[in-house]
């Protein structure tokens, strides 16, 4: 006659021991902690990519505007002229779309201009020439507009505008 103990049928049960469960929970918690810990880095990367894309859109739009700038004095008031560009400011949303002014609720970027004489940089130094037909335009893009001026980030780039030769 075969005697059975209460523990002899344990080999037939399919389950996990407490030690196995604790180890599995520990491994899962460490892996989740690593994933959750990397989220802020991913969010920073996404925000920086959005800022870079908006600045590229603004630069592209300004380049298009400045390619059509008037070198003539006078003219109608709606035309931006090269001699009055120092007084012009453009405002943009976070996405890089132009808005009417700084009081707009969506205004985030401000573009200001400084017009200099026609010049360009070479590898071995600067070359400047005197011409009424060309100007170097320095564009300063500052953001966020809601921050005090001292705390704003700035991006500066230059554009070269030349008067089209008329036939």
What value does the mean pLDDT of the chain take? Answer: 80
16: tokens are 């996990």
| Residues above pLDDT 70, as percent of the chain | 76
Q: Taking residues 99-121, what's their average pLDDT?
A: 80
Q: Kindly report, residue by residue over 7-65, the tens digit of the pLDDT.
A: 555 555 678 899 999 999 999 999 999 888 888 888 889 989 999 999 999 988 888 88
Burial label, 93 (beta-carbon count in 10 A; 0-12, 13-18, 19+): middle
Query: In this predicted structure, what is the pLDDT of residue 28?
Result: 95
The residue with greater pLDDT, 32 or 136, is 32
């Amino acid at each position: 006659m075969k005697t059975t103990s209460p523990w002899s049928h344990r080999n037939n049960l399919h389950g996990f021991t407490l030690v196995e469960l604790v180890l599995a929970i520990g491994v899962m918690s460490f892996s989740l902690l690593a994933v959750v810990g990397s989220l802020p880095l991913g969010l920073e990367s996404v925000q920086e990519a959005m800022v870079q894309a908006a600045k590229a859109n603004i630069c592209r739009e300004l380049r298009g505007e400045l390619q059509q700038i008037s070198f003539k004095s006078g003219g109608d008031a709606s035309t931006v002229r090269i001699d009055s560009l120092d007084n012009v400011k453009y405002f943009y949303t976070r996405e890089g779309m132009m808005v009417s002014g700084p009081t707009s609720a969506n205004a985030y970027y401000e573009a200001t201009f400084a017009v200099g004489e026609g010049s360009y940089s070479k590898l071995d130094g600067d070359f400047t020439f005197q011409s009424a037909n060309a100007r170097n335009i320095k564009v300063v893009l500052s953001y966020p507009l809601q921050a005090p001026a001292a705390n704003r980030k700035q991006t500066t780039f230059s554009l070269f505008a030349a008067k089209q030769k008329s036939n």
